[in-house]
Amino acid sequence: MFKLSIDGRIVDASPGANVLDVALANGIEIPHLCYHPELSVSGGCRLCLVEVEGRPEPTTACGLACAEGMEIRTQSEQLTAMRRAIIDLFVSDHPLDCVTCDKAGSCLLQKYAYEYGVTETSHEKIIARTLYQDDNPFFIRDHQYCILCGRCTRVCEEIVGASAIEIVGRGFESHVATPFDGPMIDSSCVFCGSCVQVCPTAALLPVSRLGKGREWEMDRVKSICGYCGVGCEIEYARKNGDIVYAQATPDGPVNGEFLCSKGRYGWDFVSHPDRLTHPLMRRDVAYELGLTDDPWELPTESPLAVENPQIEDSFVPVEWDTAYDLIAERLAHTVQNYGPDAVMGLSSARCTNEENYLFQKFMRAGIGTNNVDHCARL
Ligand code: SF4
Ligand code: SF4
Ligand code: SF4
Ligand code: FES
């Protein structure tokens, strides 16, 4: 560790740290678009310019390694003018649709244009990229909003390892593309949505959120993904109680800002009408217990042979306590009459580690059997 000064504040830095990271970690805001702490430095947007004592010209903070005794200034008239000029260039080929844009409220370009008072470009306005691609069910690519920051291509190569996209072309022809500009489905994309997560503008957006509400109308609920035992943290953006989209947050202890396709896009079961929200008891058992007046007999033929079986014919919804009482009674009866090894317990990868621990404890110490397994092995 050594010390340097940023805007007159003495801060600690470790060897190899860049000035932007150290400033942000100390609550000193420096505008940045292409930089992302999990990705390599590209230095493409030039927005994070700072002044360094002893150097004649401003330099980018993301590409500047900290050094002992360094003196950095993040604010000055010169820096403000340079940043405004850069934002001016960005908006010269960017439609300022913020009043209707789904990204408004979380868009970094909008944030910096507001902070630096850039309401329109002073250059001739040319929207060079007009391609709109909705070639997959998960996210759209609307190239007119792309600022070519390269975050998406770097995350795809460096974190995901898929290398499905690259910036191709020169000048106004430049754009993010799959090989030969083909549909996403024909590329090596695994639809993890990491590119959507790190995109600072509306160039990449989840399909589920298009026209579904503004950022400030949504509340955020954190949860743990239920698909596997890794336990990734997910943040659900909800409007009126309905999930609009899912993302990961930088402070997720397991996964940081990254998720797989299941966690990011596979949440529609939450409000699906087929989802079971209460226990169901087989109708013949419920009839025996006096919980229903409708008798029912087990079909003699295989359930697979019964066409269009109605779940209501075979099962009756019951209270949780009723279901637990029946399970406890039947388990005790089986153990008493046939021994503990007549019982087998199968747990789920969709439970938490703690739930699976408790389940095996229940089987071993409660029932008295080692017949316990886990669906991920099947
Ligand atoms: S991407 Fe950002 S700057 Fe562009 S229209 Fe949408 S909110 Fe505005
Ligand atoms: S969804 Fe994932 S794999 Fe596909 S382009 Fe984006 S980052 Fe790459
Ligand atoms: S699609 Fe988004 S992340 Fe990728 S280069 Fe364009 S603005 Fe940057
Ligand atoms: S954030 Fe440093 S150059 Fe883009």
pLDDT tier at 167, thresholds 50, 70, 90: very high
Q: Please tell me the pTM assigned to this model.
A: 0.86
What is the rounded end-to-end Cα distance, in angstroms, of the chain?
50
Q: Is the pLDDT of residue 329 over 60?
A: yes
Answer whether 129 contacts ligand 3 (Cβ < 6 A).
no
**Statement to judge: residues 132 and 231 lie in one domain:** yes
Specify whether the CB–CB gap between 230 and 254 falls below 8 A: yes
**pLDDT, mean of residues 46-52:** 98
pLDDT value of residue 351: 79
Same-domain status, 265 and 131: yes
In a domain, 101, yes or no: no
pLDDT digits (tens, 9 = 90+) for 187-241: 999 999 999 999 999 999 999 999 999 999 999 999 998 887 788 999 999 999 9
Same domain, 287 and 349: no
Asked whether residue 61 falls in the same domain as residue 139, the answer is no
* Domain termination residue (choose one: 234, 255, 271): 271
* Same domain flag for 347 and 323: no
Last residue of a domain, one of 271, 287, 313: 271
Please tell me whether residues 230 and 131 are part of one structural domain: yes
* Cβ(17) – ligand 1 distance below 6 Å: no
Tens of pLDDT, residues 244-274: 999 999 999 999 999 999 999 999 999 898 8
Please report, rounded to a whole number, the percentage of residues in the chain having pLDDT higher than 90: 84
**83 C-beta closer than 6 A to ligand 4:** no
Q: In whole angstroms, how far apart are CA 111 and each of 32, 211, 332?
A: 11, 21, 63
Of 238, 231, 222, 236, the C-alpha closest to 260 is 231
41: in domain = yes
Question: How much is the pLDDT for 75?
Answer: 97
Residue 118 falls inside a structural domain: no
Could you tell me if 151 and 131 lie in one domain? yes
Instruction: Point out the ligand nearest to the CA of residue 155.
Output: 2
Q: Ligand 3 centroid vs 276 CA: distance in angstroms?
A: 40
Domain boundary at 271, 295, 322, which? Answer: 271
pLDDT at position 285 over 60? yes
Q: How confident is the model at residue 36 (pLDDT cuts 50, 70, 90)?
A: very high
Residues 129, 267 within the same domain:
yes
Predicted pLDDT at 349? 76
Mutate to test the pocket of ligand 1, among 92, 98, 106 (most ligand atoms within 8 A of CB): 98
Query: Given ligand 2 and candidates 190, 255, 257, which is best to mutate, with the most ligand atoms within 8 Å of its CB?
Result: 190
In terms of residues, how long is the chain? 378
Our mutation pick for probing the ligand 1 site, out of 87, 88, 103, counting the most ligand atoms within 8 A of Cβ, is 103
Long-range contacts of 5-10 (CB under 8 A, 24+ apart): 5/69, 5/70, 5/71, 5/72, 6/72, 6/74, 7/72, 7/73, 7/74, 7/75
Q: 35 and 56: one domain? A: yes
Is the domain of 259 the same as that of 305?
A: no
Distance 230 CA to ligand 4 centre (A): 33
Does the residue 95 lie in any domain? Answer: no
- Whether residues 32 and 131 fall in one domain: no
Is 247 a domain residue?
A: yes
Specify if 105 maps to a domain.
Answer: no
Question: Which CATH number belongs to the domain containing residue 249 in this structure?
Answer: 3.30.70.20
Cβ–Cβ < 8 Å for 2, 12? yes
Among the residue ranges 53-62, 205-214, 290-299, the one predicted with the least confidence is 290-299
Residue 40 is part of a domain; what is its CATH number? Answer: 3.10.20.740
For 343, residues 6+ apart whose C-beta sits below 8 A from its C-beta are 331, 334, 335, 363, 367, 369, 371
Mean pLDDT of all residues in 38-49: 97
Domain-embedded: residue 84: no
Pocket around ligand 2 at a 6 A CB cut-off:
155-156, 160, 162, 164-165, 189-195
Q: Are 142 and 129 in contact (CB under 8 A)?
A: no
Average pLDDT score over residue span 165-174:
94
For the chain, the domain total comes to 4
Q: Is there a single domain that holds both residue 138 and residue 236?
A: yes
Mean pLDDT computed over 2-22: 96
Contact 103, 202 (CB under 8 A): yes
Name the residue range of residue 369's domain. 339-378
Q: Does 98 reside within a domain?
A: no
